[in-house]
Homo-oligomer: A and B are copies of this chain.
Amino acid sequence: MATIMDGKALAAEIDKTTTVRIQRLADQGIVPGLVVILVGDDPASKIYVRNKERRAKKMKINSIVRNLPDTISEADLIKIIQTYNENPTIHAILVQLPLPAHINEFNVTNAIAPEKDADGFHPTNIGKLVINHTEKTPIACTPQGIMSIFNAYHIDLDGKKAVVVGRSTIVGKPMAALLVNANATVTVAHSHTHNLSQLTREADILVVAVGIAKYIKEADVKSDAVVIDVGMDRDVNGKLVGDVDFAEVERKASYITPVPKGVGPMTITTLISQTVALAEWSSEKNG
């Protein structure tokens, strides 16, 4: 049976350290400021935004949720982002994705000042991550949270075969870059991949972000693999499950993240921690 990697407990541990850092900033008269921009009222996005806000409030950072109608133009959205770019009380800006079809995600992501990029999706920050220049560089929160899980459970990545299933800007691509930087041999698989099961069966480290409930079965996993499940899916009964069939794969893996209480809590914890880091970096620059 696999060791279940407890993302919720680890998140609580990291939050403690973050609280100390927030206090240290408070002593300098700085309150980290995070603005979350929500365009339209996609139900899933609303839940994500509410969870982020709840945690931000609990951690006592200054959190603003800016709700905008889905009729807003790209130009007007970018103008609003620019006001936050210039606002010294805001250290981190997050635009909840997806955006309505008439708004270009690249243009919006690109409009966020790289030094206020809470999600690490700005091309400059992605480029810095890829070339392993990660000092004072915000990095996508989900893969960064997964790296914290590897670290907490002393998972050796060096020279290991890692397979990342999914190639989104949000998870797959930054995850692959982080694993390459950690000296893993990394394969990026995706919807066009042939013989996926054969590939995943060779993985010492398997990260799954496909958005299909219980997609990865016992037969798709190597014995004693480390399995990270990024999925947040609903099964036929409406129950929250991951992309990995936990009950099956738990028997074969050496380590596995559950859903819920695995990657999910670590993503929000990393967002808060990164917001604090952006405030720290800004104060170092100005101080």
Contacts from A to B (Cβ < 8 Å): 106, 122-128, 130-131, 133, 158-161, 167, 169, 173, 176-177, 180, 183-190, 192-194, 199
| Chain B residues positioned under 8 Å from A130 (CB to CB) | 123, 126-127, 130, 169, 173, 177
Nearest Cβ on chain B to A195's Cβ, whole angstroms:
9
Which residues does chain B contribute within 8 Å of A190, judged by CB atoms?
180, 183, 185
Tell me the bound Cα distance from A107 to B174 in angstroms.
22
- One complex includes copies of this chain to the number of 2
By a CB distance below 8 angstroms, the chain B residues around A169 are 130-131
CB < 8 Å: which of B128, B186, B188, B192 contacts A158? B192
* CB within 8 Å for A186 and B183 given contacts A123-B133, A130-B130, A130-B173: no
> In the complex the two chains form, is A106's CB within 8 Å of B133's CB?
yes
Interface centre among A122, A127, A167, A177 (most CB of B within 10 A): A127
**Minimum C-beta distance from A191 to chain B (A):** 8
Residues of B within 8 A of A176 (CB): 188
A189 touches B194 (CB 8 A): no
